[in-house]
A and B are shown apart, each in its own frame.
Chain A
Amino acid sequence: MRRTLPQMHIVQRSDIKPLNAWGYRLLAVLFALSMGGLFLLILGYNPFDVYATMLRGALGSAGMQKETLKLTIPLALTALGILLAFKMKFWNIGAEGQIAAGAIAASYFAYFHADLPKTVLLLTMAAAGFVAGGFWGLIPAWFKTRFGTNETLFTLMLNYIIYYFITYLREGPWRESVGGFAAMPRFPKQARLPEIPFPFVGNLHLGWVVLLVMMVLVFIYLRYTKQGYEITVVGENERTARYAGMPVKRIILRTMFLSAGIAGLVGMLQVSGPDRQLTDSVGGGRGFTAISIVWLARLSPFGSVAVAFLFAILQKGSSMMQTEYRIPASMSDILQGIILFCVLGAEFFLQYRILKRKEVAA
């Protein structure tokens, strides 16, 4: 038997220029879109038409743009929150629950303290949302620092608890007294977020300002503050952090409070902005989608907002696609999945390259 070597082999790259790296990632997205196109083709549609429809559905008119932005705000803000924990390699996959916790706390003030002046009420709701979300995130963080529990499972489990708690509120104490349908009442005007104009698209709830401010704050916090530096060190190498005398446990608790707090704020913005009431769909899967966003953005705050916008386009476009082509909107989930798979798969090519074997000179 003649032995031959495989013609290709894999070699680790030492370095890659950032520009080339982004080129690869762009290629991966294009590849993902063509895979999605292939899928559409098999279903019997013209992928170009469908994609064009999606784009039109998301950005075609000022109204549509506004809807897309409304989707972007909670997605991006949740991503910014998750980013803080992920930077520390604390895998917070419980943003969904933290959003709910924030929403419940904010709703409490909307339902029972609507007599406060509007500004005071809204600020109280925001603070309550932040603190409640943060507290919900502190629980797994505390158990991790105290007993070394696994935060991934813990944060995930807490999601169920808080969602069933919302169901309980809806069926019981907070149920709207009129009508046979179990729901919670709509917020009084006092408790609704004001709308302010967003360039070109008209009035949009205040959340967009919060998002932009938070984006800059998170960037500065991570890059230029002592606390941000601590997060990086703990994330990179916890042993070194301890050795350098950092209060690692306190850093984990503090960071997780902030991370979950931002998610809690998302909950407040959702109930007080577009939803105008507390529902059990306040998270809407954003806590999970945001994980993909943060990964795709490679833990960059600005990148996260940009990727969140693209994801919002996909989601909004998909609903247009559904109405025009009767293609289920879950197509957008499939596309998101393919994009994530391809871009993360492209990371392999950023770290390794495949070489053709050179001729063996005897």
Chain B
Amino acid sequence: MQFTPAIQLIRLTKCFDSVTACDCIDLDVRRGEILALLGENGSGKTTLTNMLSGIYQPDAGQILLDGKPVIIRSPRDAIRQGIGMIHQHFKLVEVMTARENILLGQQSLIKTNPEDAVKAFGLKVGLNKKVYDMSVSEKQTVEILKVLCRGADKLILDEPTAVLTPQEIQSLFDTLHAMRKEGKAIIIITHKLEEVMAVSDRVTVLRKGVNVGTVGTGQTDRFSLTEMMVGQAIDLDVKRVETPPGQPLLRLDKVSAEDDSGRTLLKDISFTLNQGEILGVAGVAGSGQKALCEIIAGLENPSGGTITLDKQPINGLSPREIIKRGISMAFIPEDRLGMGLVGGLNIPDNLLLKTYRDQKGFFLKRKPARLEGEEMIRKLKIVTPGLNVKIRKLSGGNVQKVLLGREINLSPKVLITAYPVRGLDIGASMTIYDMLNEQKRKGVGILFVGEDLDVLISLCDRILVLCAGKVSAIVESQFATKALLGMKMTGLKTDKEDEYA
């Protein structure tokens, strides 16, 4: 019985209409083991875990827990059967303490009291702290505690590191290792190879809904994992293009901003962006990245400070005027379509967004945009059934290519791009980096707000670190390390975290 896997999936299948999200997936996790589930976006990772946590029902196949076939009817049923799911988005009541959140409405399910669990796994969290006073990492710890206290011995973590700093990631991994020692079976979902190598015992790689193989982490390396994940060998290096130092282009001087309720979003931000430079912006989610982008683009007004473009002040100008002066912004929010594109319109109509007002007359001329669209599809290899498809129907990578392509076609002087590779697979990400580098060569000043520190270090010339709305450091990339950036990201951190990124 010792070898009975804690979780075993046999030919698990789930289809959505014509798309097979999971195709006959076999998988097993043993007790005291961390299995990494690796795959690009759309490879079926989330669908698989949703079946395990009772959100979806499989179309075919069988789930075995501790050797017994089971049916998981709902998330509540999942936890009753010992499966604890830690989602990317936390489901906590902000005004309650950690302990209250853990006990909330679940008395009947509680198997371990919170104090014991904290001790057993060496977790760092104050049980009497209110959730709104917690950092992202602490909130995550509460989520983990929640499932542990409900007796989960099989844990599934969906992209748990996406919102954490390097130091916090290390502490999460320590927790996972402690749980492994206690005999828990753990599945961690990720698309970051470094983390797979650092934390897991075995890796199962999914590609297009198919399990392409399971390997021991010790027997593999980043490159063969990438090859399994993408289906072909791929050059993983993001290249920094060397350009001669350019003239100062965009300058922010002591810029501050507040939200409607008077809370500080940005405080005394000063930096200069030069021609032909990529200036990276790093920071924990919600450190002011969004406010920074919106203020430069003129969507929000700063409460203090000056912004100059080519030595001309631009604060207080309308978004349209700022676009005309040559500042373009491509901001990819979490839902991808929230800002910049209109999901219900087709490609040409989306391309027209910023230029239609330059057309003369009462009627809208779509012809030029159609030609532009056709050329963009060809040049950026956008996969679409045609020009007239609503942009909502395109996959994330293609949507982002359209957005970035449009901004670049405006021939901006300054390109602000936030999370341009959010949710993209490796191949598509590389295309985006190439597009940015090409702009850099042309002398465009690029402000690149990113999440992945490895990418920031290798792509950018300098990196500005935001921490709770302040600039905590501006470092030359060649001297930057992840540890240094991580420290600067948390260095001045207060307890107030914004939820949006």
Contact = CB atoms under 8 A, between A and B. Distances in A.
A358 B320 contact: no
Given A245-B318, A245-B319, A360-B61, A5 B345 contact: no
B1 interface: no
A78 B412 CA distance: 45
A228 B73 contact: no
A237 interface: yes
Interface residues of B, number: 47
23 contacts: A3-B73, A5-B71, A11-B16, A12-B17, A14-B16, A224-B363, A226-B356, A226-B363, A232-B342, A237-B337, A239-B338, A239-B339, A240-B337, A240-B342, A240-B353, A242-B299, A244-B323, A245-B319, A245-B322, A357-B57, A357-B59, A360-B60, A361-B11
Contact of A237 (B343, B359, B364): B343
Given A14-B19, A237-B337, A245-B357, A358 B59 contact: yes
A335 B71 CA distance: 44
A236 interface: yes
Contacts of A5: 57, 71, 73
Interface string A235-264: 011011011111100000000000000000
Contacts of B363: 224-226
Given A226-B364, A240-B353, A245-B357, 12 more contacts: A224-B363, A224-B364, A232-B345, A233-B353, A236-B342, A237-B343, A240-B342, A243-B297, A244-B323, A245-B318, A358-B59, A361-B60
Interface of B: 10-11, 15-19, 57-62, 69-71, 73, 297, 299, 318-323, 329, 331, 337-345, 349, 352-354, 356-357, 359, 362-364, 393
A362 interface: yes
A229 B71 contact: no
A358 B18 CA distance: 15
A225 B362 CA distance: 6
B56 to A, nearest CB: 9
B174 to A, nearest CB: 38
A232 B350 CA distance: 11
B349 A229 contact: yes
Interface string A214-238: 0000000000111111001100110
Nearest to A244: B353
Nearest to A360: B60
A298 interface: no
Contacts of A358: 59-60
Contacts of A246: 320, 357
B69 A229 contact: no
A9 B322 CA distance: 51
A361 B364 contact: no
Nearest to A353: B17
A233 B60 contact: no
Contacts of A360: 58, 60-62
Q: Which of A228, A237, A245, A246 has the most CB of B within 10 A?
A: A245
A245 B364 contact: no
